[in-house]
Amino acid sequence: MSTLPVLKPADFASDQDVRWCPGCGDYSILAQMKKVLPDLGYPREKTVFISGIGCSSRFPYYMNTYGMHSIHGRAPTFATGLKTTRPELMVWVITGDGDALSIGGNHFIHALRRNLDINIVLFNNRIYGLTKGQYSPTSVEGQVTKSTPMGSIDHPLSPLSVALAAEATFVARSIDAHVKHLGETLKRAASHKGVSLVEVYQNCNVFNDGAMAYAQERKQRADNVVELEHGKPLVFANGTKGIRLVGTHLEIVDTADVPADDLLIHDEKDPNPSIHMMMARMSYPAMPEPIGVLRAVEGVPTYDDQINEQVIAATAAKGDGDLDALFTSGDTWTVD
């Protein structure tokens, strides 16, 4: 076997000009993806990016891999057909908050609950960017946008909660500006066997600038974000504050006032998603918001493996299908 060429981030760049607005958070995600992929050691020709419609969904055009820019909200369905028939490919779905949670909500849920071995990266900027500034399913209540001059009356949807309700086996969140964390999170998603969802807080500096500044800006981040680590207590504000489980809810405590054992210890491998769901519900400003891997349950059969295993099992039991034999099975008659 010949040695594989060592790829660099630039090898994953297509020859197309990137056309996102200057200052868009998408650039950071693209850069991290190109940085992470060489580390995974997967050949470019076996890597496929599939997207829906929206600013984020232009992503595949900028990657020197196979790619498909598909239909609004439907990217997981194309990925399903591709991954079930070509399980050896590494398939990424690139989507946004409108694409995945509004028009594509149905497909998002079903790809997750089937545990299809794909990686879904959801760019969440809490706004419709490509259609120039309408509110999205993740926009906060009361948000004034082009389509909500008196403020949005929709209650926002959390992609993490939806994913956990569907019992997705890998659920994580990261932040465009937190580049190291983003790269690590993408890498972990890619190495998970089964479906993975990474929500990325992504700043739309044109239509929703600063909507998640509390998490994106380095100075504010420490106080408003809990970086999850498996087996470690949930702490933030430079270790001065922590999260404690009381009954069926989570509360903030000063770490100086409580024994370390009282803090919630993160168990990303717990098959029961209840605590993960509580963490997903932590939201600014009442609570700090978790980033990192909320849930990573390994060993769950994947949809693509199972659909192929059924073919193998049927063939083992019945032999390779013989059409001539099938046609003449059952009642036939001969005309001379």
Partner 1 sequence: MASLKTSKDVQSVSGITVRLAGDSGDGMQLLGTQLTNTSALAGNDVATFPDFPAEIRAPRGTRAGVSGFQVQFASEEIFTPGDTLDALVVMNPAAMVTNLDDLRHGGILIANEDGFNAKEFKLAKVDSNPLDANVLEETYRIIKVPMTKLTREAVSEFGLGTKVADRCKNFFAMGLVYWLFGRSLDPTLRFIQAKFNSKPDIAAANEAALRAGWAFGETTEAFGESYQVEAAELKPGIYRNIMGNQALAWGLIAASKVSSKDLFYGTYPITPASDILHELTKYKHFGVKTFQAEDEIAAVCSAIGAAFGGSMAVTASSGPGIALKAEGMGLGMILELPMIIINVQRGGPSTGLPTKTEQSDLLQGMYGRNGEAPLPILAPRSPADCFDIAVEAWRLAVECMVPVMILSDGYIANGSEPWKIPEMSGIPSITVSHPEGTDENEPFLPYARDEYLARPWAIPGTPGLMHRVGGLEKEAESGNVSYDPANHEHMTEMRAAKVSKIAERIPLQDVSGPTSGDVLVLSWGGTYGACHTAVGRCRADGHSVSHAHLRYLNPMPSNIGELVRAFKKVIVAELNSGQLRLLLRAEHLVDCVGVNKVQGKPFTVTELVAAIQQQSNAVRSGSEQSDSGDSRRKAC
Binding site for partner 1 (CB under 8 A): 14, 16, 43-46, 48, 50, 53, 60-61, 63-71, 74, 77-86, 88-89, 106-107, 109-110, 307-308, 310-311, 313-315, 317-321, 323-324, 326-328, 330-336
Q: Is 246 helix (H, G, I), strand (E, B) or coil?
A: strand
Can you read off the two tokens belonging to residue 151? 């403020």
Q: How far is the CB of 314 from partner 1 (least distance, A)?
A: 4
219/318 with CB nearer partner 1: 318
Residue among 169, 163, 153 nearest 122 (CA): 163
7/212 with CB nearer partner 1: 7
Residue type present at position 154:
D
256 CB-contact burial (10 Å; exposed 0-12 / middle 13-18 / buried 19+)? exposed
CA distances from 155 to 119, 142, 295 (A): 27, 9, 25
88/257 with CB nearer partner 1: 88
Q: How far is the CB of 87 from partner 1 (least distance, A)?
A: 10
**122 and 96 Cβ atoms separated by less than 8 Å:** yes
257/320 with CB nearer partner 1: 320
Task: Give dist(CA 294, CA 171) in Å, integer.
Answer: 6
Q: How far is the CB of 325 from partner 1 (least distance, A)?
A: 10
Beta strands in 148-278 (DSSP E): 170-175, 196-201, 225-227, 235-236, 241-246, 249-254
113/244 with CB nearer partner 1: 113
Q: How far is the CB of 131 from partner 1 (least distance, A)?
A: 15
102/308 with CB nearer partner 1: 308
54/242 with CB nearer partner 1: 54
**200 and 124 Cβ atoms separated by less than 8 Å:** yes
CA distances from 73 to 46, 175, 204, 254 (A): 24, 22, 19, 43
Q: How far is the CB of 240 from partner 1 (least distance, A)?
A: 46
**67 and 284 Cβ atoms separated by less than 8 Å:** no
Task: Give dist(CA 130, CA 128) in Å, integer.
Answer: 6
Q: How far is the CB of 281 from partner 1 (least distance, A)?
A: 26
Residue whose tokens read 């659909």: 307
